[in-house]
Structure 1
Amino acid sequence: MTATAGAWHPGSYLRFAGERARPFVELVARVGAEAPRTVVDLGCGEGSLTASLAQRWPGAQVTGIDSSPEMLAAAAASAVPGRVAFEAGDVADWAPREPVDVVVSNAVLHWVPGHPELMARWARALPPGGWLAVQVPGNFGSPTHALLAELCRAPGWGGRLDDVAPRPDTVLAPAGYAEVLAGAGLVPDVWETTYLHVLTGADPVLAWVRSTVLRPVLARLDEEDAARLTEAYAEALRAAYPVRPDGTTLLPFRRVFAVGTRPA
């Protein structure tokens, strides 16, 4: 994960590990590299998905990059000497020290302002036959984000949360990412998928967003104000995502995928 306010908590993030892993698997499945020598996962998180890249490409040296000490500490359990390594670094500053055959960034770039230019820079650095694969959440116009943005801009917060309120233009439309890849000389493969997650438990949508979009907002507030905003947000989410008769809650989640390769 890239640097944002507040500490990342691997346990909270992994509560929905299965749902969060599926887009990674579907992203990497569209990468056609046959025998890459070097693979980099930018914003690797707790490392288990990064380690799966070494299984996909047994001959590759796989490196995961993340700025979170908490995530890197968890990732250490997935390191394999000579095969899988993890390093501290902010994806916004990363540049390859040598040619990298496959660059992956899953559910990270929406944290980075101006990330389309960053993608273009990574793409231009790819060697012939190299691949870039990126996935970003595409749900910034959904109730999870729109309701939080409305709360952040409410008069009671005195402008303290304006710059951390979710913005609907945080990510591009699929066509925008296709233009970024093609403009950098890659052959683009871009698509979107809306997953319908079936969640259980008390306030499950709130539990989902606690480890993502809600983190930088709560980091700006003291304990009392954080509790007040969280309760107001939870109430709004219950109305937007009601519990079904069987006790489950449905969360539609749109994601945008962008894969590109430089012709050999």
Structure 2
Amino acid sequence: MQPAAATWDPHQYLRHADHRSRPFADLLARVPELPASGRPPRIADLGCGPGNVTRLLTERWPTAHVTGYDSSPAMLAEADGLAGPTEGGGRLDFERADATSWTPPPAAYDLLLSNATLQWVPDHAASFPAWIEALTPGGTFAFQVPGNFDAPSHVLMRDLAASPRWRDRLGGVLRHADAVLSPGAYLARLADLGCEVDAWETTYQHLLAGEDPVLDWVRGTGLRPVLTALEGDEAATEEFLEEYRSLLCEAYPRTPHGTVFPFRRVFAVARRTFE
């Protein structure tokens, strides 16, 4: 579920799968029990990526019909290997959809979940009314988004892209600090829609191993628009990466234990409490 201008590499994304999946687990832990409807739960994962965390939904709700949606053909191709009947009698499938225009039918889902996707969707909070309407009464909308757009990893990336050397090719391709809202702003938006809301933030202290691990991390996510814009020009790509690598090494120095990468994330769990 990313801008059409960005191409995605599921294998690069999955290089830090353990760290990336932890916020999903923390979000899932706060999702309440789903409505008792007498039928298997119906669950949507908006922005499922390669499906590695979507699969975890079938472990908590073994009888559920879970559908993962994403706009990236590469991500969906990777996820497709996980599709099919689940051990608990449910089903996992994947479909192509774009979060910028996705409007599900009313009362279609008992749980609508989105993990690290909505930051790619401009003005995503404007879609909240339609997404809440897509829930059954007592159903839940839960999401988490990165809240680190003012961190050195992103500030340095934007500053470099806007520098005289790169601005003609990269000006405007990156997201800015207003890509996501604060926990309080999400709480207010969702409470205004009649939901019972739990909103919070967490800063993870990821300890990364290897050479240039922060660069390796962002190559799978935040740097994708830059890599897409420079695609086909290997010399320019390597030049940008070398400049950016040097800046990251200063901002995130290696310690005897590894490289510490603080990462703030914003969470919200909203339960529809009205008929």
TM-score by length of 1: 0.95
2:44 corresponds, among 40, 47, 52, to: 40
Long gaps (5+) in structure 1: none
Provide closer, same or farther for how the CA distance between residues 56 and 68 of structure 1 changes in structure 2, counting only shifts above 3 A.
same
Deviations 1:121-165 (A, max 9, x none): 312332210100010000000000000111011011243322113
Structure 2: segments with no counterpart, 5+ residues: none
When residues 107 and 65 of structure 1 are mapped into structure 2, their CA distance, relative to the original with a 3 A threshold, is same
> Given that residues 105 and 135 in structure 1 are in contact (C-alpha distance below 8 angstroms), is that contact kept between their aligned partners in structure 2?
yes
**Distance change >3 Å, CA 20–CA 158, structure 1 → 2:** closer
> Is contact 1:138-1:255 (8 Å) kept?
yes
Cα displacement string for residues 219-259 of structure 1 (whole angstroms, at most 9, x for unaligned residues): 1122222111111100000000001134x100000000011
Corresponding residue for residue 24 of structure 1: 24
Q: What does residue 96 of structure 2 align with?
A: 88
How do 1:29-178 and structure 2 match up within 5 A?
29-34=29-34, 35=36, 37-81=41-85, 83-99=91-107, 100-178=109-187
Secondary structure, counterpart of 2:125 in structure 1: helix
Asked if structure 2 preserves the Cα contact closer than 8 Å seen for 1:66 and 1:89, the reply is: yes
CA distance in 2, matches of 1:158, 1:77: 40
Q: Verify the 8 A CA contact 1:43 1:66 in the aligned structure 2.
A: yes
CA contact (8 A) 2:70 2:98 kept: yes
| Root-mean-square deviation over aligned CA pairs | 1.5
Tell me if structure 2 keeps the 8 A contact 1:4–1:111: no
AA paired with 1:249?
Answer: T
One of 227, 232, 235 as aligned partner of 2:246 = 235
Name whichever of 236-245 and 121-130 sits farther off.
121-130
| DSSP-derived class of the 2:142 partner | strand
Alignment partner of 1:192: what SS? strand
Letter paired with 2:224:
R
Structure 2 distance, partners of 1:149, 1:199, is 23
Secondary structure at the counterpart of residue 235 of structure 2:
helix
- The verdict on how the C-alpha distance between 1:7 and 1:227 changes in structure 2, with shifts beyond 3 A counting, is same
Pairs aligned (count): 263
Assess if the C-alpha contact under 8 Å between 1:102 and 1:131 holds in 2.
yes
TM superposition score normalised by structure 2: 0.91
